[in-house]
Structure 1
C-alpha cells in the first residue's frame, strides 16, 4: 500500500449522449501510475426525477450521488483529488478537491469568480481552484508533480476507461 503522502486522485464524471452518467476515480502515485481505480455503474435519471429535480438534476447526480460514492469507495488515502469540472468542488470530501486547468487554453470553461473559491498558479502552466486552503506542503507537492509528469494526461485515461466501461455494459 503506497504512503498517503505519495498518492493523489483524478475524479471525473461523464454525461453520455443517451443522458446516462458514469463516474470514475483513479488514485495515482507521483509518477502517474494507477494504484486504484473505481467506477460507478451508468445511471440514467427517470423522467419523473428530471421533473422533480429540474435544472439541479445534473449537480445532484454528479456531486451528491456519483462523486460522493466514488470518494467513499476508495481504499487508498489520497493527498488530494484533482477534477476538471468546477461543480465537483462542491463534493463533500475528507480530501482536498482541486480543480486543475491548463493556462495554455485560449479560454477556460471555468467561472472562478465565486467567492468560495481560491485561485492559484502552479508554475506557469496550470491554474488551480480550490475551496479550502492548501497547506504549503500540499502546494509544493503538487508543483513538484507537475514538473515530473503531464499532470493533466491521466484525465484522458480516466475518460477512456469510462468510455470502455460503458461500451461493455
Structure 2
C-alpha cells in the first residue's frame, strides 16, 4: 500500500487528506481533517509560521496518527511535509532528464516522464523506497491520486458551506 498526503489552503480554510491505495490505485482508506479557519488573532500571533504549523504539526501529523492501514511509504507534493523518513516528495519534471541519485534526491525515468523523489533533509535516498515507487508507477499513474484528494477536500469544504 502507498499513502498520499495533501494539505491545502482553500479560501482561508486549511484542510488535509490522506488516501491509502493498493498497488492498483484502489482506495483502501481515506481520512481527512476538518477545515480549520484561523482567527485574526492566530494569524497575528503565528505570523509567517501559521501555515507551516497548521499544515504540518496539526493536520498532516494528525492524519498519519489516525490512519489504520499503515502504508509502505507516503507521497507528498509539498516540501514542508517531509517530516519523516518514510515520506517522499514526488515532482514530475517538465522534460526528460538523465537519471541520478545524490544526497536526499533521486531522479528516475518512468515511461515518458522524469520524476524527482526528495527525501527528508539530512537523509540519503533509500534505494528500496525508490524501487517501490518505480514498481507502483508501472501499475498506476503515480500522481493521479493527488487529484482525487484535492477534489475530495474541495467537496468537503463546499458541503460544509451549505
TM-score (norm 1): 0.82
Matches within 5 A, 1:151-162: 151-162=142-153
Distance 2:146 2:16 in 1: 12
Distance 2:6 2:140 in 1: 19
- Contact 2:13–2:35, Cα closer than 8 Å, also in 1: yes
Report the alpha carbon displacement of residue 155 of structure 1 after superposing the two structures with TM: 0.4
Match for residue 121 of structure 1 among 103, 107, 110: 107
Distance 1:133 1:80 in 2: 15
Please tell me whether residue 165 in structure 1 is matched to residue 156 in structure 2: yes
User: What does residue 65 of structure 1 align with?
Assistant: 58
Unaligned runs of 5+ in 1: 1-6, 106-116
**Residues 138-165 of structure 1: CA distance to partner in whole angstroms, max 9, x if unpaired?**
2211111112211000000010011111
Secondary structure at the counterpart of residue 137 of structure 1:
helix
Secondary structure at the counterpart of residue 69 of structure 1:
helix
Q: Which moved more, 1:123-132 or 1:70-79?
A: 123-132
Secondary structure at the counterpart of residue 82 of structure 2:
helix
**Residues 51-93 of structure 1: CA distance to partner in whole angstroms, max 9, x if unpaired?**
1111000000000000011000000111110001111113xx4
Query: Which structure carries more strand by proportion?
Result: 2
Matches within 5 A, 1:41-56: 41-56=34-49
Match for residue 149 of structure 1 among 132, 137, 140: 140
